[in-house]
Amino acid sequence: MSVDTIYKVILYPFITESIASLKAMTNLEGTAGDPFIDNVDDFRFKGYAVCSDVTGNLDGVIMMHHYPETAIAIGNSVCEKMFDEKYNYEEITEELANALAEWGNTIVGRSTDLHGRYSLDYNFSSPYFVHDVSDMAQYLAGVTEVVTVPITIEGVGRYYFNLLVRSVDYQQVGVKREESRGIENTHTNTLSTESKILLVDDSAMIRKAIKRYLSQLGYNNIIEADDGASAITSVAQESPDFMFMDVVMNEVNGDEALRQIRAAGSNVPIVMLSSVTDKGLVDKCQDLGISGFIFKPIQADSGAEIIKDYLKIA
């Protein structure tokens, strides 16, 4: 298989969304270099990595890996943009690791829309941050090819996008699907500031950010859950007046939690959160009854305003 084919069909959406999300989530500018084949036997990380496992017609691993100084600069910038505060960490912390993973999650999710326009039957795991990349064996097992694209960030440094390929089936490539469409907000009543709001996301950083945006709007009766199973329990026990719920989570996904919440008879208004813009997923959630769909990233300069619209505040 040629580098050009792999890049255009599989890696190109990730590179496009990587650069777009870099600008949207950090205000940093990135430029992609030419793709090339890395030698599998000699392939090594440069520092830290955000990874997503790929299964289905494509079997492998998508990776973004960085020199330490680049990872720190991006992590600080993601936090600054999300919380509107200055961050000056000089080493990777848990908060920066979460920020880098959230950036990776946005890239994987939004690129799913581009992949979803073709009949490419493969799935991506939730991105995870890798602190120790000294042991490459678990990632390189069965890998036959490594495609690398360097991304240069002006004034910061460089990071790399890699596709570690074990196997790929190109027979399904080429069948177009319909474009994704927006979601109509079906929640029509203003939500009082005394209302109880349930936030569901496996990212503590996202919960922290949305909680802050809600507080700016006067909402402080907030409860939290970190996966779909906890959300189902919280709805039954806490009877929230409104919910914001992520779709892709480590345990029970948001769409499955939504199905079970509706099956149990709850009509609580729910706005879904996701970087995944696949039309099939959006339609599935809409059919189960939602009050909207917010596509990540969501940032400090617009977060409260976006949320305000869904709560029907004048």
Q: Which of 9-13, 37-41, 63-67, 233-237 holds the top average pLDDT?
A: 233-237
Q: How confident is the model at residue 2 (pLDDT cuts 50, 70, 90)?
A: low
For residues 13 and 116, state if they share a domain: yes
Residue 184 within a domain? no
Q: What pLDDT does residue 185 have? A: 43
pLDDT in tens, 19-78: 888 888 998 899 999 888 888 888 877 778 888 888 877 788 888 888 888 989 999 999
For residues 35 and 144, state if they share a domain: yes
Indicate yes or no: pTM above 0.95: no
Residue 110 within a domain? yes
Domain count, the chain: 2
Residue 279 within a domain? yes
DSSP string of 264-291? TT----EEEEES---HHHHHHHHHH--S
Q: Which of residues 135, 168, 201 is at a domain's end?
A: 168
Q: Which of residues 134, 168, 202 is at a domain's end?
A: 168
For residues 82 and 43, state if they share a domain: yes
For residues 193 and 145, state if they share a domain: no
Q: Which of residues 168, 199, 231 is at a domain's end?
A: 168
For residues 164 and 37, state if they share a domain: yes
For residues 96 and 217, state if they share a domain: no
CA-angle at 78, arms to 73 and 79, nearest 5°: 100
- For 292, the enclosing helix (H) or strand (E) is strand 292-295
Residue 183 within a domain? no
For residues 88 and 127, state if they share a domain: yes
**Alpha helices in 1-67, H assignment, sequence order:** 3-6, 12-26
Residue 65 within a domain? yes
For residues 35 and 163, state if they share a domain: yes
Instruction: List the structure tokens of 181.
Output: 């469409």
For residues 162 and 225, state if they share a domain: no
Answer whether 257's CB lies under 8 Å from 230's CB.
Answer: no
Residue 77 within a domain? yes
For residues 132 and 59, state if they share a domain: yes
- Boundaries of domain holding 197: 189-313
**CATH classification of the domain holding 274:** 3.40.50.2300
pLDDT in tens, 158-213: 889 888 888 866 444 333 333 333 334 455 678 999 999 999 998 888 999 999 99
Is it the case that residue 249 has pLDDT exceeding 70? yes
For residues 153 and 296, state if they share a domain: no
Q: How confident is the model at residue 299 (pLDDT cuts 50, 70, 90)?
A: confident
Nearest one of 6, 32, 13, 276 to 166, comparing CA atoms: 6
Residue 58 within a domain? yes
Q: How confident is the model at residue 115 (pLDDT cuts 50, 70, 90)?
A: low
Residue 59 within a domain? yes
For residues 120 and 224, state if they share a domain: no
**CATH classification of the domain holding 105:** 3.40.1550.10
